[in-house]
Structures are given as structure tokens and as C-alpha cells.
Structure 1
């Protein structure tokens, strides 16, 4: 099973969590070989890869992400599944930090973001978006 957008149940659970504390969002991305844009979209005939379409999503949604106080605090390229299904792989992963979930909601409701997100949908075969409450780093587990 693949996931691009949240289910209603998962999104309702997200909305029920506190909105006034910082959040970290783990993003795991698996790109399409060739982006799949809806008929009539300005990028439909460009022959973009999924990775290129996701770069467009980053370029067009980035100003909104930064305006609401979002930052990327970690980014990496997948190498190997150590614990988990052997057939599961990701291309990229990152952790986005938001000052609070209200900022995340502000971002996704922005009309410019809603136009930009079509690039994300066109780009991905599968993804995960997981909310975490930030904790302290350090030397131990």
C-alpha cells in the first residue's frame, strides 16, 4: 500500500494534538521515475522525473514554509533498511521543524501552497509524514 496524502482518521488525530508547541515532521520520500501531473497542468509534457517535480514543489512551497517559521533540521539520502521490511526503500528523508502545528496548518491552507502541492503529488509513489514532539539530543539513547 502506498501513501501520498493523509487519511481522514490520521489527519483528525494530528489536528487533535496540541497546536501551541514545536513539532518535528519526519518526511520519507519515494519518487516516481516520471512525474504524473494531471491533464492540462503546465508541467504535464515536460518529462520531469519525480525528483525534479519534488524540487519544483520545494521551490514553490519553500517561501510559504519559511514564512510560517519552518526549517529543515536534518536531511539525508537513503542507503539501507537496517530494521524493517527488506523490500522497503526510500530515496530521501528529512525532518522539518515548525514552531507549532498552527504554523503547519497555516502553510497547508495558503492558496499558493495549495497550487504548489500538485508538484509533490506528481512526484511521489509513496511517502510518510510522521509528527514528533521534539526532545533533547545527547550522547545516550
Structure 2
């Protein structure tokens, strides 16, 4: 399947709401060199009172899709304090995950288990910020 057809299928399933990458976002993601591992840094703001539980349901359901895509969680942690120069600084948690490639990430979004689990993800999040980072450009000590 071509990248364009993959993107069309993802948009048909998830839309372009901001909680899901837009067509332009996917085009940028899929333009990464084939086989280049990608890191996903996700900042999360949960809906008060119910968000953590709903997001927990997502985590419980998404495992098969995450594993099928070759995903690996590097860390998850609650935010103790947040600060910044501009924009949102009120985050509850951060997740850093790695996928073998942009294509693997896209295939996860097409996996029936992710499609189903994503409903719980959306029920749990008030806001999120996702950064896609080429693994070969990341610096770790």
C-alpha cells in the first residue's frame, strides 16, 4: 500500500481533529526515511476526575496493536511540575515510546485494536501534545 493510501485510510478512521495527526502531519511523518526508528513524546492532560481511568482503559486495550507495530515504551511518568515560556504548561504526564519506523506507527493507527482503544484515549484526554522525533537525531546520555 502506498503512503498516500495509508494516510487516506487513517484519516477515514480517525479524522483530523488535532488529537489525531492531520493529513499534513501524516505526510510529514511518512516522509521520514524508510526504516528510520521514530520516537513519540506525548504530553498528556487528563479530563478532571475521569480522565486517568479512561486513559487507563486505552492503555489496557492498545497493547496488542502497540506490540504488533513493534512499539516499545521507554518511559511513562506523572508530571510533578510544569513550566515554559509560552503555551500550555499544565500537563499531567508524559510518555516516550519508540517505533521501528513511521510505517510501523501508521500501521498501529490502522490496527483494529487501536481503532477500538482510541475511543477510551479520547474519553480521557483534555489536551495532548505529540512530538515525532527521528531516533537517529535524538540524544541520550
Normalising TM by the smaller chain, what interval? 0.7 to 0.9
Runs of 4+ in 1 over 4 A off after TM superposition: none
Deviations, residues 45-73 of structure 1 (Å, cap 9, x unaligned): xxxx1110100001101121012211111
Length-normalised TM-score, structure 2:
0.77
Q: Over aligned residues, Cα RMSD in angstroms?
A: 2.0
Partner of 1:137: 140
Deviations, residues 79-109 of structure 1 (Å, cap 9, x unaligned): 2234333862100101001111121111110
Partner of 2:91: 90
Residues 4 and 125, structure 1, Cα contact 8 Å, conserved in 2: no
Partner of 2:62: 61
Q: Structure 1: give runs of 5+ residues left out of the alignment.
A: 35-48
Q: Structure 2: give runs of 5+ residues left out of the alignment.
A: 1-16
User: Matched residue pairs, number?
Assistant: 123
**SS of corresponding position for 1:4:** coil
Partner of 2:75: 74
**Higher helix residue share:** 2
Length-normalised TM-score, structure 1:
0.77
Using the TM superposition, give the Cα deviation of residue 3 of structure 1 relative to its aligned residue in structure 2, in angstroms: 4.3
Counterpart CA distance in 1 for 2:88 and 2:103 is 36
Moved more, 89-98 or 63-72: 63-72
Compare CA radii of gyration and give the structure with the larger one: 1
1:99 aligned onto 2:114: no
Which one has more relative contact order, counting CA pairs under 8 Å at least 6 apart?
1
**SS of corresponding position for 2:103:** helix
